[in-house]
A and B are shown apart, each in its own frame.
Chain A
Amino acid sequence: MKANTKYTVAELITEAGYKPEDVVGKVRVRIGGIPVNDPAKVITFQPEVKKVEVIVGTEAVELEVEGVEKVHTISEGARASLDAEGVETSKQVEAMQKAKAEANKTDEEEIS
């Protein structure tokens, strides 16, 4: 783990020694103060972060952060997660553009 990087919950839980499918959404999980219930959620470690506490149920594990990436980095898992989110976002944008076009058409009809 390095600072100035984005990771997924699944990657961080695995690093803490747990199987994500066994704990995420099943018991209380917090990573760096963030409550989580989705293994695909992306969490950023700011450059100053040196340790991250992972709480799973009643157990706490401290992840050591080994150095800082010079350039903000995105892990492989986080990249896949952000790409998948992007597909959904683009569908929403397309729907919004269609709705706007419809509204403009109605406005023009009312004016004419």
Chain B
Amino acid sequence: MATYTWTLQGTSPTTIDATDIIQFAGAGGFDTAITVGSYNDTTHVESSVGANDSSGNTPNNNKFISQTGGTAGDSQADWGDGTEDIDQITDAECALKINFAHSPAVAITNHILYAYNGSSTTTGPTEVDFRVAESGDANFTEAEGSAAGVTVGDSASATSHDFFFIISASPTTVGEKTAFKIRDELTYT
């Protein structure tokens, strides 16, 4: 049987359940706004009834800084230590961890992660710039819609597969962005 577990990493992990919301927020913390054109200063897990599920877990935050401003054109982000090239991040510093487990062992291929508008997977989120990179990538992908998803490396046969992602988002207009979901697709054989 297969299990899919999403986690917002931090001092302690917060499991992201299917009905939960990954909340990208401003420097003021949970439920605070991000200025248009800026990227998230904090990241949280919000329950379906609006509770701060990651309160007390000191969740990680990954903030997009530049697409090619780093060494040799690497992307840059701030994950709490100032601006760094994203290929320097450790798995533990990534905000999002996705575990896929299956017994017996399976290999993972055709793995992509992207944001969409909540109704059509081919359409990007509404009025949001979404950047994502797998841990180890040199550059961010603007993963908006399934065709633009970040390509995740294949994983050789195992019963438990961990994938780590740097995720960051920016509003392009004012107001809460709800036409914005993140989807992970993979093939296991």
Residues on A lying within 8 angstroms of B by beta carbon are 6, 31-35, 41-49, 52-53, 71-72, 74, 78-79, 82-83, 85-87, 89-90, 92-94, 96-97, 100, 104
Distance between Cα atoms of A46 and B91 in the complex (Å): 13
Q: Which 6 residue pairs are nearest across A and B when measured between Cβ atoms?
A: A32-B156, A33-B107, A86-B138, A86-B139, A33-B157, A46-B158
| B178 interfacial by beta-carbon distance below 8 Å | no
Is chain A's binding surface mostly helix, strand, loop or mixed? mixed
| B84 interfacial by beta-carbon distance below 8 Å | no
Please report which residues of chain B, range 100-156, place their CB below 8 angstroms from some CB of chain A when the two chains form the complex: 105-107, 109, 135-142, 144, 148, 151, 153-156
Distance between Cα atoms of A60 and B139 in the complex (Å): 36
- A48-B159 in contact given A33-B189, A86-B73, A97-B142 (Cβ < 8 Å): yes
- CB pair B138 A82 closer than 8 Å: yes
| B17 interfacial by beta-carbon distance below 8 Å | no
Distance between Cα atoms of A43 and B155 in the complex (Å): 6
Give the shortest distance, in Å, between A89 (CB) and chain B (any CB): 5
Known: A34-B154, A43-B154. 5 other contacts (CB 8 A): A34-B109, A44-B156, A44-B161, A86-B75, A93-B139
Give the shortest distance, in Å, between A41 (CB) and chain B (any CB): 7
- CB pair A90 B139 closer than 8 Å: yes
Number of A-B residue pairs, CB cutoff 8 Å, is 100
Distance between Cα atoms of A111 and B58 in the complex (Å): 43
- CB pair B153 A44 closer than 8 Å: yes
Please report which residues of chain B, range 45-104, place their CB below 8 angstroms from some CB of chain A when the two chains form the complex: 67-68, 72-75, 87, 90-91
Residues of A within 8 A of B136 (CB): 6, 72, 74, 78, 82
